[in-house]
Amino acid sequence: MIFIDACLGKKTPYTPVWMMRQAGRYLPQYMKVRNSAGDFLSLCKKPEFAAEVTLQPVDILGVDAAILFSDILVVPLEMGMDLRFVAGEGPLFSNPILTKEDVDALEVAKAAKQLEYVYQSIKLTRERLADDKALIGFCGAPWTLATYMIEGGGTKTYGKVKKLLYSNPDFLHQVLAKVTEVLKLYLEGQIQSGVNAVQIFDSWANALEEEAFFEFSWRYVQDICSFLKGKYPHIPIIVFPKGVSGYLDKIDGEFDVFGVDWSTPIKLAKEKLGNRYVLQGNMEPTRLYSKKAINEGVEHIANIMQNSRHIFNLGHGILPDISVENAKYFIDLVHQKTKI
């Protein structure tokens, strides 16, 4: 698999490419399946449908890897939290984590078992996916999940979780430790079900100042990485802490690929991390609105990463109103421009 070879730093005939959120609303085929499933959570919980939308970008766009269709919040859902997705508001928990009793009530082993629908989606997808295409599993990082769980949904201020961080850090560490234990079991279940690599998304890493990032985010991500590498050393691990360009000098750990978000100059990431890790990214997602902008973006990144270990991706998820034509143009252009 060219994607796995690239993750492990091996020479490849071209730079492999995939896109975060590539199974999503910009594809009419995805919307058709989602409507058939009933709602977003139902789509996540029905393996037949989840497998179908996971495979769509491979068939339609020609990406080099499929990423499992699911959502990071199925983990707190199965830990016992009440999750719903509200149009215009996003995910909401009616029972956010407020007290020690709330933390104690969170299930670990039971949650990992109840995520069986995800494991079934993986098995179905891997059966249908071409042998030369990789399947990526994923989870949200403990900090990102804990933020949702404590805030009760999305946030712009991080007021509740950061109040805890500075006024009651022990409580926050209890939440993070419990989430970390579930994620270890969850990713292990994904690997045993057939994924070829895993990615840990820390979408809200940039909410933390440097010291707090390494204590409350990175420490737990690396705990998961060490656990997986101890048991599954052949499975590549990708980390994606969004918006931490100022902390790259201190990034270290047992992972293979560092995902570079679009706000971090790829040249800077190469200087700081390129000699130790494969880099993934980092084209600005809105460049996909224009073929001219796609050309410029691909050219820029390809020139900097030439002869370096690299996987092409966007610097965050593809947006829902991007045209399929432009998405395919991006994938084809990367293949063409990076061919040896």
Q: For this structure, is 219 an active site residue? A: no
Catalytic residue among 5, 71, 84, 232: 71
Catalytic residue among 5, 14, 21, 158: 21
d(CA 113, CA 291): 45
Catalytic: which of 148, 220, 247, 277? 148
Could you count the other beta carbons within 10 Å of the beta carbon of residue 287? 22
* 34 tagged catalytic: yes
CA angle, 181 then 182 then 186, to 5°? 125
Coil/strand/helix, residue 155:
coil
For residue 142, what are the CA distances in angstroms to 80, 124, 183, 232, 234? 16, 27, 8, 20, 23
Q: Which of 25, 102, 117, 158 is catalytic?
A: 25
| Beta-sheet pairing, 90-93 with 83-86 | antiparallel
What is the token pair recorded at 122? 């993986």
The residue annotated as part of the active site, out of 34, 126, 287, 309, is 34
DSSP H or E run through 177? helix 169-193
CA–CA distance, 22 with 19 (Å, rounded to integer): 5
Is 117 among the residues known to form the active site?
A: no
Sign of CA dihedral 149, 151, 154, 159: negative
How many DSSP H helices and E strands does the chain contain? 16, 9
Cβ–Cβ < 8 Å for 251, 273: yes
Where in the sequence numbering do the catalytic residues fall? 21, 25, 34, 71, 148
